[in-house]
Amino acid sequence: MAQGGSIVPFAGWRRLRLLGESPVRQALRSVGDRVVRLAEDVVGQDLDARIAGIRTHLNEVGHDPFGFDPETSRYALAVAALLHRRYFRTQVFGINRVPQDRVLIVANHSGQLPLDAVMIGSAMMLDADPPRFPRSMVETWTAELPFISTLYPRLGQVLGSPENARRLLRQEESLIVFPEGARGISKTYDQRYQLTDFGLGFMRLALETGTPIVPVAVIGGEEQYPSIADFKPLARLLKMPAFPVMPQMFFGMIAPLPTKYRLYFGEPFRFNGDPDDDDSAIEEKVWLVKSTIQSMVNRGLRERKGVFI
């Protein structure tokens, strides 16, 4: 394959170039600027300086090849900073263990909505020095969702394809990967913090590109949207992997519960081997990563005093 590889884009991101200035867009920008100023006052950091400190590969129209738009991400970071520091009151441990160059950040997945990815990304932007802007590899089915297929690329998210991952790692980027996929994020409450099967793709990618893997345990996500059941008929109708039935629904609540997040970054793994090995050989390496994360999760659960404190 040629250096960098081809890109698998979201279907909607190229429409962004057609969006000119409009009164609505100007009004949204004004609101966004106010949110940025509020977030900077609350978290005590210059968000523009943090964004300016990240490595980017922008083209002549101000986007990267995947559609990343720093201006949109500026507003998103402001919201994420408020969630990270005030709403979820996230505690971060061991973030200095993350290498400065290419890295796969591999974590347990939970919470029905990917706020765990938002909290990991916020920690990398606000708590790491220098700041890092990690990319999330998102499920391919999200490319079919209205609005999401346009918003996600602007925020730097990319479809979870091997081609995209190789391209980003060759640019020395950091990638957030949830090997449990939809199985992990859609767990019901009785299965909380029990890791499901990991896919093997992230390990083959790490071996192919010589990329270290940093295990991350996320505590707090399972309780933000506790699911008591999966309404499979509706999930099939909506072409979603799951449709969680959550107590918040019965009270008209759409916001996540204000659980306290804890992020534990472990020591990097550096694996050697053939990325084309049989599944059994790859599974041994994957098991080591998964068991490490499960142990970190178990330790984090023992250390916390409660779900909200």
pLDDT tens digits, one per residue of 148-203: 667 777 888 888 788 889 999 998 999 999 999 888 888 989 999 999 999 999 99
Q: How high is the pLDDT of residue 3?
A: 45
Q: How high is the pLDDT of residue 59?
A: 60
Q: How high is the pLDDT of residue 9?
A: 57
Q: How high is the pLDDT of residue 159?
A: 81
Stretch 250-262: mean pLDDT = 89
For Cα atoms 11, 17, 20, give the angle at the middle one, nearest 5 degrees.
Answer: 135
Residue 297 has pLDDT above 70, yes or no: yes
Q: What stretch of H or E contains 176?
A: strand 174-177
Lowest mean pLDDT among 135-144, 270-279, 290-299: 135-144
Closest by alpha carbon to 112, among 211, 235, 287? 235
Lowest mean pLDDT among 115-119, 162-166, 283-287: 162-166
CA atoms within 13 A on the CB side of 240: 16
Name residue 60's amino acid: E
Cβ 252 vs Cβ 142: under 8 Å:
no
Instruction: Report residue 159 as tokens.
Output: 């479809």
Q: State the CB neighbour count (10 A cutoff) for residue 161.
A: 17
pLDDT greater at residue 124 or residue 54:
124
Residue 43 has pLDDT above 50, yes or no: yes
Pairing of β 103-107 and β 213-219: parallel
CA atoms within 13 A on the CB side of 63: 19
CA–CA distance, 79 with 27 (Å, rounded to integer): 17
Instruction: Report residue 68 as tokens.
Output: 């990343």
Domains of the chain: residue spans and CATH: 88-303 (3.40.1130)
Lowest mean pLDDT among 10-14, 110-114, 173-177, 235-239: 10-14
pLDDT tens-digit readout, 202-233: 999 999 999 999 999 999 999 999 988 888 88
Helix (H, G, I), strand (E, B) or coil at 177: strand
Q: How high is the pLDDT of residue 13?
A: 46
